[in-house]
């Protein structure tokens, strides 16, 4: 499909166009609270009758709200939900163990690592990682790799990372990804390195599993989208801070 034609398509329009590729699939999506990209994605796909949605979110009530909305659109689609905090690796391991134990989920055809965060002051997780790097990259990386047995059980597995053109803000700071020196911390540098890591993860998965297992992995920039993700940010300072990060 020519790029200019794709740009004119809505999510629901593309879902209808590729309905045969969606029907019967088991699709796992992280970060599905109402008002976000993840919720919009699953609601666009729901009428195309996927076999199952696995919805992972940090807030159980909001995740269930999206599950109910899916059920109204596609009553025959099975839905499983699980609470997970991607910034906590112990929580990720617990969620992955539960999913691997679900006998009614023999495979995962599509995994969408959508959940993420941005902005805010420097924070270190209880496990010792810078929060943006943990939430946006380490958690999704661990989840994906722990679930790989069920992903590779699909005939045509797909892994999609919600990336960002914010990757231009920073490469991975391999010498100090957790900003041990708090004085050099910049929230957009931290965000940028996490998005660069998302891209490299997709490249690595495609290289490692593409030929033998037909796995395709992508890191996608959704564009400038107004969602609840930015509800805590002072947007008047956003472009100033990002400009300083690039200077």
Question: pTM for this one?
Answer: 0.89
pLDDT at 119: 82
191 is catalytic: yes
pLDDT at 232: 47
What are the chain's domains? 18-246 (3.40.50.720)
State the DSSP H helix or E strand holding residue 16, giving kind and residue range, or none if neither: helix 11-17
| Residue 207 CB coordination number (10 Å) | 11
Q: Which two tokens stand for residue 117?
A: 């965060």
pLDDT at 239: 47
| C-alpha–C-alpha distance, residues 122 and 89, integer Å | 18
pLDDT in tens, the chain (247 residues): 555 565 568 889 999 999 999 999 999 999 999 999 999 999 999 999 999 999 999 999 999 999 999 999 999 999 999 999 999 999 999 999 999 999 999 999 999 999 999 888 999 999 999 999 999 999 999 999 999 999 999 999 999 999 888 889 999 999 999 999 889 999 999 999 999 999 999 999 999 999 999 999 999 977 655 555 555 454 444 545 545 555 5
Q: Which of 18, 185, 191, 209 is catalytic?
A: 191
Burial 37-57 (b: 16+ CB within 10 A, else e): bbbbbbbbbbbbbbbbbbbbb
C-alpha angle 96-28-61 in degrees, rounded to nearest 5:
85
pLDDT at 120: 84
């Amino acid at each position: 499909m020519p790029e200019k034609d794709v740009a004119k398509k809505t999510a629901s329009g593309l879902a209808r166009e590729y309905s045969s590729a969606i029907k019967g699939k088991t699709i796992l999506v992280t970060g599905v609270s109402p008002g976000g990209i993840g919720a919009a994605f699953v609601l666009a796909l729901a009428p195309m009758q996927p076999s199952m949605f696995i919805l992972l979110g940090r807030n159980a009530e909001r995740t269930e709200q999206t599950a109910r909305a899916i059920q109204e659109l596609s009553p025959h689609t099975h839905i499983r939900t699980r609470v997970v905090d991607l910034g906590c690796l112990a929580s990720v391991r617990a969620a992955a163990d539960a999913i691997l134990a679900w006998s009614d989920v023999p495979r995962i055809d599509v995994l969408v690592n959508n959940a993420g965060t941005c902005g805010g002051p420097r924070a270190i997780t209880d496990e010792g990682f810078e929060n943006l790097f943990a939430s946006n990259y380490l958690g999704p990386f661990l989840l994906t790799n722990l679930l790989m047995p069920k992903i590779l059980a699909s005939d045509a597995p797909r892994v999609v990372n919600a990336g960002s053109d914010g990757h231009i803000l920073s490469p991975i700071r391999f010498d100090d990804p957790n900003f041990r020196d708090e004085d050099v911390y910049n929230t957009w540098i931290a965000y940028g390195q996490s998005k660069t890591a998302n891209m490299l993860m997709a490249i690595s998965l495609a290289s490692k599993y593409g030929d033998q297992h037909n796995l395709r992995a992508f890191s996608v920039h959704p564009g400038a989208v107004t969602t609840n993700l930015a509800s805590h940010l002072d947007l008047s300072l956003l472009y100033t801070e990002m400009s300083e990060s690039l200077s």
